Each structure stands twice: as structure tokens, then as C-alpha cells.
């Protein structure tokens, strides 16, 4: 299969197989990464951590905006 008529290995066919295998592994790694992000998001939503984090972020952003406006007022 990978040998030529004279008994030597066909390097070109081996390289094609290796490149195909590398492409398949990259696709599988990408799919695994996307699946992990999706699972992590589902767990955060199910355990109700995501709404809690959004509430903390809202409060933090309001304080940050207030400090920013206060800084502009002081500079002016």
C-alpha cells in the first residue's frame, strides 16, 4: 500500500497521510475547545452563577463610571 513496485516506501503517500491526520487532529481539538466552552456556559447558567456575575459586574461598572466622571469633573 505504501510501497512502490521496487519495494521502497512511497514517501509522498506517507506525507499525504500525515498531513491528513494533522488536519483531522486540529479539527478535533477545535471541536473539543468549543464543546468545553459550551459546557462551561451551560454549567454557569444552570448553577445560576452567570446572573450573579452579571449583577456584580453592573454594580462595579456603575462605580467605575462614577469615578471616571468624578475624575473628569476634578480635571475640568
Backbone dihedral angles phi then psi of residue 9, each to the nearest 5 degrees: -70, 145
Confidence of residue 2 (pLDDT cuts 50, 70, 90): low
Is 39 a residue whose pLDDT tops 80? yes
Query: Given 3-state DSSP classes, what are the helix, strand and coil percentages for the chain, each rounded to the nearest 5?
Result: 85, 5, 15
Is 35 a residue whose pLDDT tops 70? yes
Closest-CA residue to 14 (of 26, 27, 1, 24): 1
49-53, 65-69, 72-76: least confident range: 72-76
Cα R_g (the chain), whole angstroms:
28
Domain ranges within the chain, ordered by starting residue: 11-75
Show the CA angle centred on residue 11, arms to residues 8 and 14, nearest 5°.
Answer: 115
Confidence of residue 36 (pLDDT cuts 50, 70, 90): very high
Amino acid at each position: 500500500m505504501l510501497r512502490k513496485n521496487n519495494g521502497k516506501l512511497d514517501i509522498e503517500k506517507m506525507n499525504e497521510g500525515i498531513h491528513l491526520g494533522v488536519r483531522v487532529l486540529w479539527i478535533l481539538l477545535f471541536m473539543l475547545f468549543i464543546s468545553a466552552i459550551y459546557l462551561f456556559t451551560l454549567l454557569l447558567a444552570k448553577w445560576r452563577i452567570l446572573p450573579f456575575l452579571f449583577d456584580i459586574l453592573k454594580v462595579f461598572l456603575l462605580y467605575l463610571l462614577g469615578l471616571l466622571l468624578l475624575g473628569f469633573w476634578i480635571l475640568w
